[in-house]
Every structure is written in C-alpha cells, then in structure tokens.
Structure 1
Amino acid sequence: MAASRNLGYTLSGLIAGIVFLVFLIGLRVPLLFSLGTSVAAFLGSVLMLVPKEKKGIAIKVHDVSPESVARVMAEGKEKVKAIRSLAKKIGNKTLERRIESICKRMEQIYRNFERDPKDIKAAGQFLSYYTDTTVKIIERYIELSGHGVSDREIQSTLTKVESILGQIDSAFEKQLAKLLRDDALDLDSEIRLLEKTLEAEGLARSRRDGPPPLRGQEGDTTWAR
C-alpha cells in the first residue's frame, strides 16, 4: 500500500510539472495562472492515482466482523470443552448422556454461526445465558453429590437437576430449529427474488408457461420418419 501511494504521488508531481511547463512556456500563460493550473492538476492526479488509506477497516458480514465470528467460535469451543469436562465428574450416566446431547446441540448452533454470522446477534445472548446456567447447575450438582449426605432436601434437588437439564436441552433444540428455519426462509426469499429478476429480464420462462416443448415437437417430424 505504501509503495502504491508513493508511486501515485510521484506520478502526480510529474503531471503537475508537465502542465506547468506547457502553460508557462508552450502557451505563454502568466506565471501565477500556470502555477494555479499545475496545483489543480496535482490535486486531481492525487485523487485518481493515490490509493486511499484504510485504517482499522474490517470486512463485515451482516454487521458482524470476521474477528467477532472467530472470537465467538473460539469461546464456544472452550465452553463445550468445559461442560464435557464437568460431565465426566458427575458420576451419573443418565445425566452424562443428557449433557452430551446439550453439547452436540451447542456445537450445531456454533457451526450455524460460522455459516451465517448474522445469527450471532439473534441467538448469541440466548446461548451465553443457557451455557452459563448449564455450567452452574452441573457444578452445583457435583458439589452437593460429593458430600455423600442423604438429606431429603439435597436428594430432591439432585433429582430435579435431570429434569432441568432436559428443559435446557429442549431449549437448545428449539433455538437451533428456529435458526435453521430462518435460514430456510432467507434462502426461499432469495430464490423467489432471483426468479422474478430472471423473468423480468426475459432470461427465464414464467412458471405459468409450463415446460418447454420436447425435441421433435412443434412441426419437427424428424423422429417420426
């Protein structure tokens, strides 16, 4: 970028110098007018030949920068890893299976974020809340079950955890379905718009026109011989 800018300024200076000499010597125009014309030529050349600097500009997709997408994906990977690590300490196969189901749905949602970054704004807060809640519930379960106390209230709380994790798993499933449904609607809208554009430009047959005639029809009797 720096080399291109330097070259642009050099060429602009040469153009301005040539314009000055042509006006002053070739056309015998007064000095001040020749200077003014050469300055104008220099500025015009700079605008056309010198690339503009782009400071701190990141390409964004749906108002979500690539850096933000990368950060969300990295954080998501770490959260899933942390939840799976906690699941190994829980000592309950039923809960482990439920937690693994939650992790798989989380991974699906994060993969959807990678494909369609705009969904980060739509579901990012949901995912953050339920992920943190899941971690807290599992940590609390491990803490309570590790005491080995047969207190009725504690046992009741531990029993409820399975139901709560089931609700969280269901919430993740519904959120994933919503994101995929929205993606399908977006794609359908794009297809409809494309079809209308092609029809308007005469590049596609209208749906009501029916299929094109088969070879050998419309008076062509080649295949009837």
Structure 2
Amino acid sequence: MASSKNIGDQIFNAVQNAVDSQDFSNLQSTIEKSIGIAAEGIARGLSSASDGIRRGQEQYALAQAKKRREEQMATIYANPSGQRSVGIALVGWGVVLGVPGLAGTIFTIGAGSILVGSILAAATVAGGALFAMGIKRLNLVNRFERYRDAIGLRDFCYLDEIAASTADTTENVRQNVKAMLSHGLFKQAALGDGENFLALTNDAYQQYRQARGKALEKKQQRALTQSEHSQLDAETQALLARGNAYIAQIRESNKAIPNPEFSKKIDQIEHVVRTIFERAAERPEVIDDLDHLMDYYLPTTVKLLDAYRDLDAQPIQSETISQSKREIEGALDSLNVAFEKLLDSVFRDMAIDVSSDISVLHTVLAQEGLVESPFDKQKSE
C-alpha cells in the first residue's frame, strides 16, 4: 500500500508536470487515481481496526458471560474439590492400613501369633472399609459433576430428566441426589413430594410448595363437591328418569297426531321441559323448584295429549269432539306458558350473577373514565 507521503508526491509531481507542459488533459484522472488508492488504503486500515475492535468486544462479551455463569453456578452448586479430597484421603488411609495389615496378618498367622494376627486383621478390615468409602465418595463426586452439567442453571428439574441425560435409572439418581444433599454438594436444593422433583433454589422450592398447596386445596375442594353431589345423585337421577319418561310419552303422542300446527306446540313444550331437566342435572339445587312440574304440569300434559290423540283418531269429527280438541289446545298453550315461567325461575340465579357482573363492570369502567357514570348522567339530566 502506498504511503500518504508517496501519494502526495505523486499528486504534486502530476500538477507540476501539467503546469510545465501546459497539458492538463490527464491531470484529473491522475489525481482521482491517486486519491482512490489513498481511500482504499484508509478503508483497509479502518476495516482491519474495526475487525480488531469487534473481536475484542466478542471476546469480552464471552468472558463476561462465562463469569456470570460461573457466579450463578456457584450459588447453586458447591465446589466438589473438598469432597474429592476427602475421597482421596479415605482411599489413601485405606491403602496405608489395609496393605501392610494384610501382609502382616498373613505373616503372623503363619508364625503362629494369633493375637498380633487378629490386630493386624482388624487393621486390614478397617483399611478395606476406608478404601471402599473413598471410592464411593469419588464416584459420588463424578456423578455430581455429570448431574451438574445436565441441570445447568435451571431452577428445577425432574429426576427422570437427569436419568435420561446420564443413562441411569431414576431410582439410582434419587439415591445419589439424597447422598449429594447430605454432603452439601447442592447449596439450596430440596426434593419435592414423591422425590421425583428437585428444586435447585430456595425460591423455586417455595414456589413449588405454594403450587403444591393450591393443587391439594383444589383437589380437596373437588372431593368435597363430589361428595355433596353424590348425596344428591339418587334424588337427581330419580327425577331425571321420571322426566325422561314423561318426555318420551310427549314425543310418542306428538308422532301419533297428524297436525303440523299442533305438533309445533308440542315440540316447544318438549324443548322447554328438556332444557329444565338439563339445568337440574347441572344444578341439583333447583330440584326443589320442580315439584309442580313433576306432580302436576307434566302428568296433566301427558293426560291431555292422550285425550287429544284419542279424539283426533275418531273417524267422525263431531262438533263436540272439535270443541274438546280446541279446549285441549288452549290448555296446552297455558301449560306452555307455565313451563316457560318455570324455565325462567331455574335460570334466575344465573341471571342474577350476570346482572351483578355487568353492574360491577360498569362501575369499574366508570371509575376509569371509560364510560359515563350513572351519577354523571343524573347530573346532566
């Protein structure tokens, strides 16, 4: 790359030559070429500097992220080096006691010294126990590091997830986690109910306990509700069975009467009565309001329909028969009105709840200035 001094010299010489020769035809192209070379060099320099800055920023960001992760990991997991040192020490003491003890036991027993042999044998057993404890502790530390890598910075996890990540059984993971907790390898962790849930932080465990408590409360509430409903099941089922029997009789009579206009009235009655019974199945407490329906309205309806069907089936429709049929139609109209009023009554509680909700909604909206307050309406009027 040409230096700025050389480029400046090139431009100066080009200008001087043009002045001396009075030929300026190539001066512009020469200057532009020199400036282009200079600009290209500057751009390469800036690009190189920019790349260096970007690499530095990336390295700094990675270093900071690594530092933050290490700090977060340190709040969840203990440094296992202490437990590893304990394991190594136990193995070392096991070897120190076990190997000489074993050799001495063999020698002294061969020499006939029972007492010394017994002492050395005890030392051998103690050394073997220490060695086994050390190996177990080292294996636990190795498993802890694998569990730590599998869990990472999560606030909680399930033991079967750890088992899947470490190619182990859930029961082995459960026993290992308990041992790790007893040795303080998890700083804040606790096992949840059922010992399949591991909360890694105190906050996560508290949230788990709260969620568990709410779930238990809901379960108890459902059980209580089911118990209350089960006490009403027999009464409800008996009422629904009687109601369905009446509906079946109404439908049968309707099919047997070839009168489209009359059938429309019967269809309406059947629809209203069916809706009442569906409401009773959902809200058994309305059963007490259905005494008149079961004891008078429905039996009367069925009786009138049977009479109408018999009258309609007569081969000669005399004036008396026609008059009786008209009277039955009028009575059924009155019963239809009664059924609809009864339907309104069994939905009254829902209407009250809806009205209350709407009233509260209007009050809240008025307080927030989203609708006109009823008090403001009165003032404006």
Report matched runs for 1:5-24 at 5 Å.
none
Specify every segment of 5 or more residues in structure 2 that has no aligned partner in the other structure, as ranges.
1-225, 369-381
Higher helix proportion: 2
- One-letter amino acid of the structure 2 residue matched with residue 109 of structure 1: I
1:141, distance to aligned residue in structure 2 (A) = 1.0
**CA deviations over 1:163-184 (Å, ceiling 9, x no partner):** 2211111111111012212333
| 1:153 corresponds to which of 320, 327, 345 | 320
Determine the structure 1 residue equivalent to 2:256: 89
Query: Which structure would you say has the larger RCO, counting Cα contacts within 8 Å and 6 or more residues apart?
Result: 1
Report matched runs for 1:49-128 at 5 Å.
59-61=227-229, 65-128=232-295
1:164 correspondence with 2:331: yes
- Give the share of equivalent positions with the same residue, in percent: 24
The alpha-carbon distance between structure 1 residues 154 and 209, as it changes in their structure 2 partners (threshold 3 A), is closer
- One-letter amino acid of the structure 2 residue matched with residue 83 of structure 1: I
Asked if the contact 1:64–1:117 (Cα under 8 Å) also holds between the matched residues in 2, the reply is no
What is the alpha-carbon distance in structure 2 between the residues aligned to residue 75 and residue 153 of structure 1? 34
What is the alpha-carbon distance in structure 1 between the residues aligned to residue 314 and residue 348 of structure 2? 45
1:177 correspondence with 2:344: yes
What is the alpha-carbon distance in structure 1 between the residues aligned to residue 352 and residue 366 of structure 2? 26
Normalising by structure 1, report the TM-score.
0.54
Specify every segment of 5 or more residues in structure 1 that has no aligned partner in the other structure, as ranges.
1-57, 196-205, 212-225
SS in structure 2 at match of 1:118: helix
> What is the alpha-carbon root mean square deviation over aligned residues?
3.0
Aligned length in residues: 141
1:113, distance to aligned residue in structure 2 (A) = 0.3
**CA deviations over 1:61-101 (Å, ceiling 9, x no partner):** 4x961121122222222221221011111121111111011
What is the alpha-carbon distance in structure 2 between the residues aligned to residue 64 and residue 110 of structure 1? 18
What is the alpha-carbon distance in structure 1 between the residues aligned to residue 227 and residue 330 of structure 2? 44
- One-letter amino acid of the structure 1 residue matched with residue 327 of structure 2: K
Determine the structure 2 residue equivalent to 1:144: 311
Normalising by structure 2, report the TM-score.
0.33
What is the alpha-carbon distance in structure 2 between the residues aligned to residue 145 and residue 207 of structure 1? 60
Q: Mean alpha-carbon deviation: is it higher for 164-173 or for 99-108?
A: 164-173
Tell which structure's C-alpha radius of gyration is larger. 2
